[in-house]
Chain A
Amino acid sequence: MLKILKYSFFDLMRSRWSYVYFAFYLLLGIVLLFLNNDLSKAVITLMNVIIVLVPLIGTIFGVMYYYNSKEFTELLLAQPLKRSSIFLGQYLGVAISLSMSLILGLGIPFIAYGLFKSNAIWDFYLLLITGTFLTLIFTALAFNIALTNENKIKGFGYAILLWLFLAIIYDGLFLMSLVLFEDYPLDKLSLIGTMLNPIDLSRTLILLKLDISALLGYTGAVFKKFFGTNFGLIISFVMLVIWVILPVLRIVLKSKKKDF
């Protein structure tokens, strides 16, 4: 698996898109820091960008990479390699190179600004960790979609829909259900609703850590009341890990049964 990971990783590192992605975060980091002049405000703005953008890039990149490397995959399948190591290697290659672009692109300007001397360093770490989790989750979901759909156009369509649903539509539905059932106790519903969407989960996680009650919203408040800040953080992390494991498991199972 490590060999496949190595080839996929270097293949992506040579591609122009990794640099574009890296440069984008670099620019974003620099602009935010020097416009805001305030590290913790910059972290909040970044959170809002990351939480929407990282899933989008992860999904699109994942689907694109899978379809583009179809030939490579077929070549590998005829070699004495396990299917699970081929697909996991490719998946990790994509996810790790995307995470690297994110971490380096944001890390460099923040370090240059003097992050290590600031109190915001833990918030910033958390931001990067959540970004990495979101990359892992959405790349895995994208691989699932691509493995299930032979048709490229369909695959892309489903991938975009998935992103649109989790990043935008889900929140709308969630909010509507809260308004609709406001006469009932909604604590449990809103907790479960947040856990089932990795984007919402990441947002709650960061806001809990930043401890900004004004931005927490109803779910965040419930989270905090229910679990307390620390326990809430742990629960959110556990959920994020589950969100990574389940799609990765499906990649392994699905790839075992697929014909090429």
Chain B
Amino acid sequence: MVNIENLHKRFNKNIVLSGVDLNITEGGIFAILGPNGSGKTTLIKSILGMVIPNKGTINVLGENIKNSSNYRHKIDYLPQIANFPNNLKVKELIKMIKDLRGDTNEDERLIELFTLHPFLDKKLGNLSGGTKQKVNLVLTFMFDSPLIILDEPTTGLDPISLIRLKDLIQTEKAKGKTILITSHIMSFVEEVSDEIVFLLEGQIYFRGSISELKNKTNQPDFEHAIASILTENNA
């Protein structure tokens, strides 16, 4: 699905990724974890082609992504902070993205699911953080792509929406899709993910299931296992 080889990226003198090798197979939910500044978002943005790597190759669905843009038809991406053009109405934004990516009818169902009807005619600049995140989710899930990338999907969501999000993720997984998630909410990660990838100082420190991580660190629960990695490495 996604194949990354020897990925290097630095911003000026700040080395963010130094030799990441990652092979993500088809189907399942993968969580990308790591402390702040460990390169999670940079890794995701490299897959999306928003960040240009200094070195290394990335293949998405067997296609080298360098200088290509068409492969993004096969990716649904949820950006970290919902930064939308402020003077656009919710309705207009949805219409615009549909115009750019192709038509879909899923948006109606998703708007219903997140009860966004009252906000359709409001400008994005006037929405609360949580509502913006819901709009963000609608934009991401309304297309039927084999790869879904979610950067901090839970930010700002109320408990009901969170439950709906989890359901949504599980339905997509049942369709055989591959889902990449980053999150700092460990309970959320533990609940949804099949496999975790732990980034530390620009490299992959651990990759495997949650139970393997618990065994490796000799910790009874997931949150402590993560914490022990961080304290051991002074991160």
Chain A: residues with CB nearer than 8 A to chain B?
Answer: 3, 7, 11, 14-15, 69-72, 74-83, 256-260
Contact call B72/A80, Cβ cutoff below 8 A:
yes
Complex-state Cα separation, A3 to B99, whole angstroms: 8
B 87-126 contacts with A by CB, 8 A: 87-88, 96-97, 99-101
Write 19 A-B pairs (CB below 8 A) sorted by A numbering.
A11-B85, A14-B87, A15-B87, A69-B85, A71-B86, A72-B85, A77-B48, A78-B77, A78-B79, A80-B69, A80-B101, A81-B69, A82-B69, A83-B69, A256-B52, A256-B67, A259-B45, A259-B50, A259-B52
Contacts of A260 in B (CB 8 A): 45, 50-51
B73: interface (CB < 8 Å): yes
A-B contact count (CB 8 A): 62
Contacts of A69 in B (CB 8 A): 85
Nearest-neighbor residue (CB-CB) of B11 within chain A: A259
Chain B residues with CB under 8 Å of A257's CB are: 52
A-chain residues with CB within 8 Å of residue B75 when the two chains form the complex:
78
Extra A-B contacts (15), CB below 8 Å, given A72-B85, A74-B79, A259-B52:
A11-B87, A70-B83, A71-B83, A71-B86, A74-B83, A75-B79, A75-B85, A77-B49, A79-B72, A79-B100, A80-B70, A80-B101, A81-B100, A257-B52, A259-B11
The minimal Cβ–Cβ distance linking A59 to chain B, given in whole angstroms, is 22
On chain B, the residues within 8 Å of A79 by CB distance are 72, 97, 100-101
Q: Restricting to B17-64, which residues have a CB under 8 Å from any CB of A?
A: 45, 48-52
What is the CA–CA distance of A257 and B51 in the complex, to the nearest angstrom?
A: 9
- Chain B residues whose CB sits within 8 angstroms of the CB of A75 once the complex forms: 79, 83-85, 97
CB <8 Å contact, A77 and B50: yes
Minimum CB–CB distance from B11 to chain A (whole Å) comes to 7
Bound-complex Cα distance A78 to B50 (A): 7
Chain A residue nearest to B77 (CB atoms) is A78
Q: Are A74 and B50 in contact (CB under 8 A)?
A: yes
Residue in A closest to B86 when the chains form the complex, CB atoms: A71
Q: How far is the CB of B66 from chain A (nearest CB, A)?
A: 11
User: Smallest CB–CB gap between B224 and chain A, Å?
Assistant: 35
Contact A80 B51 (CB under 8 A): no
B74 — nearest CB in chain A belongs to which residue? A80
Q: Establish whether residues B96 and A7, one from each chain, have CB atoms under 8 Å apart when the complex forms.
A: yes
Alpha-carbon separation in the docked complex, A111 to B4 (Å): 63
**Chain B stretch 119-145: residues in CB contact (< 8 A) with chain A:** none
Inter-chain CA distance A257–B48, complex, in Å, is 14
- Closest residue on chain A to residue B73 by CB atoms: A80
Kindly state the separation between the CA atoms of A70 and B50 in the bound complex, as whole angstroms: 13
Residue of B nearest to A15 (CB): B87
The CA of A7 and the CA of B95, in the complex, are separated in Å by: 11
Which 7 residue pairs across A and B have the least CB separation, nearest first?
A: A71-B83, A80-B72, A72-B85, A80-B73, A78-B77, A259-B51, A260-B50
Which residues of chain A have C-beta atoms less than 8 A from B73's C-beta?
A: 80
Report the bound CA distance from A14 to B123 in whole Å: 14
Rounded to whole Å, the gap between the CB of B79 and the closest CB of chain A is 7
Question: In the assembly, what is the distance between CA of A83 and CA of B48, in Å?
Answer: 12
| Contact in complex: A78, B96 (CB < 8 Å) | no
- Residue from A11, A81, A259 having most chain B Cβ neighbours under 10 A: A259
- Closest B residue to A82 by beta carbon equals B69
B65–chain A nearest beta-carbon distance, Å:
11
Using CB atoms, name the residue of chain B closest to A70: B83
Residues of A within 8 A of B83 (CB): 70-71, 74-75
Q: How far apart are the CA atoms of A70 and B84 in the complex, in Å?
A: 9
Q: How far is the CA of A144 from the CA of B50 in the complex (A)?
A: 19
Residues of chain B with a CB closer than 8 A to A15's CB? 87
* Chain B residues whose CB sits within 8 angstroms of the CB of A70 once the complex forms: 83
What residue of chain A has the Cβ atom nearest to residue B42's Cβ?
A259
Which residue on A lies nearest to B93, using beta carbons? A75
Given the complex of chains A and B, what is the CA–CA distance between A75 and B67 in angstroms? 18
Report whether B85 and A78 are in contact in the complex, using a CB–CB cutoff of 8 Å: no
Q: Which residues of B contact A14 (CB under 8 A)?
A: 87
Residues of chain A contacted by B51 (CB below 8 angstroms):
259-260
Chain B residues within an 8 Å CB radius of A80: 69-73, 100-101
